[in-house]
């Protein structure tokens, strides 16, 4: 390749670069500002109180009364709670009702539940129940 051919190729490349620069400049002038908008949803959780009327003569009400009287200030088994109900003359019609009622009170947030750390000889887990710390704010006694 001789010197003249090389100069012609370089001149041709310079000319092509100038054309590309002009084309790029024109394209950039026509492209408006690029903006990206991202929407982030905001979750609003509304907590409304639900009023549940429970009679003090019902098993639910009697266990709540035990809690309000301080009996459930310490962790107790379902058996302990049943024994106290009997001692107060509030024996349920069926003793099998006590556990489901306790579980319902746990779901309402009135009573807390934990698994006992003691080894249980039977197959069932021993659960312990205790009144929630804010039970007095959650329960309104009507006389």
Could you report the per-residue pLDDT of 28-83, keeping only the tens digit for each?
Answer: 777 777 677 888 888 998 988 878 888 888 999 999 999 999 999 999 999 999 99
pLDDT at position 1 is 65
Structure tokens at 90: 């509030």
Q: Strand, helix or coil at 76?
A: strand
Q: Determine whether domain 59-138 maps to CATH 1.25.40.10.
A: no
Cα separation, 108 vs 13, whole angstroms: 81
Q: Which pLDDT does position 65 carry in this prediction?
A: 94
Q: What is the arrangement of strands in the sheet containing 76-77, beginning at the earlier edge strand?
A: 76-77, 127-131, 111-115
The answer to whether the CB of 56 falls within 8 A of the CB of 66 is no
């Amino acid at each position: 390749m001789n010197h003249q051919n090389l100069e012609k190729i370089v001149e041709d490349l310079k000319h092509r670069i100038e054309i590309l620069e002009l084309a790029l400049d024109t394209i950039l002038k026509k492209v408006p500002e690029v903006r990206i908008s991202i929407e982030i949803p905001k979750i609003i959780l509304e907590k409304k109180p639900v009023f549940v009327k429970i009679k003090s003569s019902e098993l639910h009400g009697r266990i709540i009364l035990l809690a309000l009287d301080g009996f459930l200030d310490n962790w107790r088994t379902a058996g302990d709670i049943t024994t106290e109900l009997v001692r107060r003359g509030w024996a349920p019609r069926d003793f099998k009702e006590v556990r489901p009622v306790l579980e319902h009170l746990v779901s309402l947030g009135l009573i807390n539940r934990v698994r006992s750390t003691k080894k249980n000889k039977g197959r069932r887990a021993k659960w312990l129940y205790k009144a929630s710390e804010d039970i007095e704010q959650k329960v309104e006694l009507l006389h």
